[in-house]
């Protein structure tokens, strides 16, 4: 389950959701990753694979933004969904995320695509699959990562603590079931990619809705403006 160390707090949180059969698949995933890294460039670097979980332990999660898999071009993936390191060109999906935040809050367009500041505020920027082979999107899909990330989502869902799920696109949407007895806020719309952003994402109002919910539940809102 660990390439280069997942936070102990997360290991404890997801343990009840990992079956014995799941453990076998996760061991196979580790062997697969060792082989992949010996033959190809794999992103993000091994020490960044659990970046989202390690920057945002379960006790601090207020918002979950779910991505698909890491960026597959060199220098982009940093272990946070939709985020790229400072100095790297902002990818199209993140440009649309920024456009929506701009429209909701009237901010200047951010100069950096690094979303670490959001992670530090309690936004879990998690991909469904945590690694990818260079140049091949979805190349590590269905290798076992989904077991782990589904366990993360289930642990948060079962906690029933006040938090917000921002689920963009059908893949992310399938990870969280509708449950009227659960007080957590689930926001759904299309993916922010250029192919689908105009079919629901742009104009969704998710960032303001998120903060209204957090404030209503006596939690510090996310400073979406502070992205530079």
Does the pLDDT of residue 189 top 50, yes or no?
Answer: yes
27-44 residue pLDDT tens: 999 999 999 999 999 999
Does the pLDDT of residue 3 top 50, yes or no?
Answer: no
Token pair 């100069």 is at which residue? 111
Question: In the prediction, which pLDDT does 227 show?
Answer: 67
How far apart (Å, rounded) are the C-alpha atoms in residues 54 and 46?
A: 13
Structure token digits, residue 6: 């997942």
What residues are annotated to the active site? Answer: 69
Q: What percent of the chain has pLDDT over 90?
A: 86
| 67 contacts 82 by C-beta, under 8 angstroms | yes
Question: In the prediction, which pLDDT does 228 show?
Answer: 56
Does 180 or 81 have the greater pLDDT score? 81
The mean pLDDT of 73-93, rounded to a whole number, is: 96
Give the 3-state secondary structure of residue 116: helix
Residue 202, sorted as left (phi over 0), alpha (psi -120 to 50) or beta, turns out to be beta
Question: In the prediction, which pLDDT does 225 show?
Answer: 81
DSSP state letters, 64-130: EEEESS---STTT--SSTT---TTSPPPHHHHHHHHHHHHHH-PPPPS----HHHHHTTEEEEESS-
DSSP state letters, 103-115: HHH-PPPPS----
Q: Mind listing the domains of the chain with CATH numbers?
A: 8-216 (3.40.470.10)
Q: Band the pLDDT of 130: cuts 50, 70, 90.
A: very high
What residues does 43 pair with on adjacent strands? 132
142-160 residue pLDDT tens: 999 999 999 999 999 999 9
């Amino acid at each position: 389950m660990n390439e280069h160390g997942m936070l102990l707090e997360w290991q404890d949180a997801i343990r009840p959701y990992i079956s014995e059969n799941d453990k076998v698949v996760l061991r196979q995933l580790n062997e697969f990753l060792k082989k992949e890294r010996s033959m190809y460039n794999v992103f993000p670097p091994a020490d960044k694979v659990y970046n989202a979980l390690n920057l945002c332990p379960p006790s601090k999660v207020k918002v979950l933004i779910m991505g698909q898999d890491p960026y597959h071009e060199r220098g982009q993936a940093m272990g946070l969904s939709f985020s790229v390191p400072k100095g790297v060109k902002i990818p199209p999906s993140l440009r649309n995320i920024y456009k929506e935040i701009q429209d909701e809050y009237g901010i200047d367009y951010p100069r950096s695509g690094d979303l670490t500041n959001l992670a530090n505020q309690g936004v879990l920027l998690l991909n469904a699959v945590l690694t990818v082979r260079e140049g091949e999107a979805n190349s590590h899909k269905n290798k076992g990562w989904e077991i782990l990330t589904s366990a993360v989502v289930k642990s948060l869902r079962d906690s029933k603590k006040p938090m917000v799920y921002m689920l963009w696109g059908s893949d992310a949407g399938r990870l969280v079931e509708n449950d009227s007895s659960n007080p957590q806020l689930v926001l759904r719309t299309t993916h922010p990619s250029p192919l689908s952003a105009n079919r629901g994402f742009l104009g969704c109002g998710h960032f303001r809705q998120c903060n209204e919910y957090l404030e209503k539940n006596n939690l510090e809102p996310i400073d979406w403006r502070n992205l530079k």
